[in-house]
Structure 1
Amino acid sequence: MTASRAPRTGPEHTPDGTVADTAGDPEALLAELGGSWSWMLGSALATLVPGVLILVWPDETLHVLAVVIGLYLLVAGVFRFVAAFAREPGERLPGLLMAVLFVLAGVLCLRNPLQTIAALSLIVGVVWLVTGMLTGYTAIAASWLPHRGFVFGAAALGIVAGIVVLALPVESAVALTRLLGLWLVLLGVVEVGVAFAWRAALRRARGGLRTGPAAPV
């Protein structure tokens, strides 16, 4: 889930949440990129699109499902790695842990020996459960975070998704496909909501800086 990150609203952001010029400072560049609403939207689409593809073609083989899920986890891991730099240095650990977890899980899904129904269910279920917990921790710790309700919703959905995938016995690849596709779509929709909520918060913050008494004339 991409809702776990807590991007900053410092003066480096442009009014629409895009990335400002941070040439020469890779860490600042990653912070600006990870804190932009458009990066959050891209992360949400990286979850939503695989879910839609899985639901559209539910009769594909387990091998195809494992490849799609593996690629989703790898791409999501990259998004989470960059997003972690949008936090203060002391608050980056949960985001970096999620990024590592997603990448490792993606590699496992792409390995042929592990392409079984039970293994795929276990990998995805654990990833969603752990990241849901970390997202909830982020929402609780970052009291300043705007629209925390969306973040709590994403955390709860991730935890429920992980529990459902781990607890329900899945006896066929078709059933697993439908289950994973449904949860990916639900998670993607929630993350899209988080991205647009963050865009609104950034615009309000920028507007306040421009119109406030401390704004330059």
Structure 2
Amino acid sequence: MSTSQGSAPRAGPEAGSAGPSPAPAVDPADQLGRLGRSWVWLFGAAMATLVPGVLMLVWPEATLHVLAVLIGVYLLVIGAFRFVAAFGRGGDRVPGLIVAVLFVLGGVLCLRNPLQTIAALSLIVGAVWLVSGIVTLYTAVATKDMPHRGVVMAVAALGIVAGIVVLALPAESARALTRLLGLWLVLLGLAETAVALAWRSALRRAGIAGRDMSGPAG
């Protein structure tokens, strides 16, 4: 008579507990979002705008070559800040990414030919400020629950005015263009500093929950 055989216990690593679960994969977009929501990141972008403006005002005799390189580096750095800030915003990231690409493209054009004419440099900077201001203003108007929405809209309007002034008032010399761009960079840098400090205030009032809030428009 044959005896029935039960299922033999499994040997090997399967017999024991499953062991520690693997660590979750790090999402690059989430990491960029956390960085973009930091008020320190916004403050860094403001300083990246303010410092070149101060340099231009205290160094008005800079040559056109130096001015083009300085503006090109400024646009590239701000493009990188805007790219990360786009991931820190809730909702649609496309407007922020468009602004970031616009700044990077303007920086590449300035650095590609540093010996270009004053008119060409004015056209690049004015167009970047005008279009980025319009996109940022549209984002602020469309995002009803944006913290400190009025401040962001004011900064966007300032960028639009800066772009119009630079495009409408062509400078006849590198010295005049340096003063004009330096003045607007200082004004924009101060306005962006106000946005960063307002965002810090909002995060402090919200406490720990504020870390998960979506940042202002990039």
Q: Is the 2:122–2:170 contact (alpha carbons within 8 Å) kept by the matching residues of 1?
A: no
Instruction: Give the CA deviation at 1:169.
Output: 2.3
Query: Please, which of 45, 48, 52 is the counterpart of residue 47 of structure 2?
Result: 45
Q: Is the 1:121–1:165 contact (alpha carbons within 8 Å) kept by the matching residues of 2?
A: yes
Instruction: Give the CA deviation at 1:112.
Output: 2.1
Equivalents in 1 of 2:134, 2:198: separation in Å? Answer: 21
Equivalents in 1 of 2:95, 2:58: separation in Å? Answer: 33
Instruction: Give the CA deviation at 1:51.
Output: 0.4
1:142 corresponding residue in structure 2: 143
Matches within 5 A, 1:201-212: 201-206=202-207
Equivalents in 1 of 2:81, 2:209: separation in Å? Answer: 29
1:160 equivalenced with 2:181 (yes/no): no
TM-score, with normalisation over the residues of structure 1?
A: 0.82
Structure 1 segments unaligned to the other structure (5+ residues): 1-21, 210-217
1:179 corresponding residue in structure 2: 180
Residue-by-residue CA offset, 1:23-55 (whole Å, 9 max, x unaligned) = 822111000001110000000000000000111
Structure 2 segments unaligned to the other structure (5+ residues): 1-23, 211-218
Equivalents in 1 of 2:168, 2:89: separation in Å? Answer: 34
1:133 corresponding residue in structure 2: 134
Matches within 5 A, 1:44-193: 44-88=46-90, 90-112=91-113, 115-193=116-194
1:16 corresponding residue in structure 2: none
- RMSD (Å), alpha carbons: 1.7
Q: Is the 2:32–2:87 contact (alpha carbons within 8 Å) kept by the matching residues of 1?
A: yes
Instruction: Give the CA deviation at 1:141.
Output: 1.2
Residue-by-residue CA offset, 1:91-139 (whole Å, 9 max, x unaligned) = 1000000111100100100122662100000000000000110111111
1:212 corresponding residue in structure 2: none
2:33 corresponding residue in structure 1: 31
TM-score, with normalisation over the residues of structure 2?
A: 0.82
Equivalents in 2 of 1:201, 1:92: separation in Å? Answer: 21
Equivalents in 1 of 2:84, 2:156: separation in Å? Answer: 19
Equivalents in 2 of 1:113, 1:208: separation in Å? Answer: 47
Change in Cα spacing, 1:92 to 1:208, as seen in structure 2 (3 Å) is closer
Instruction: Give the CA deviation at 1:207.
Output: 6.6
Percent identity between the two aligned chains: 72
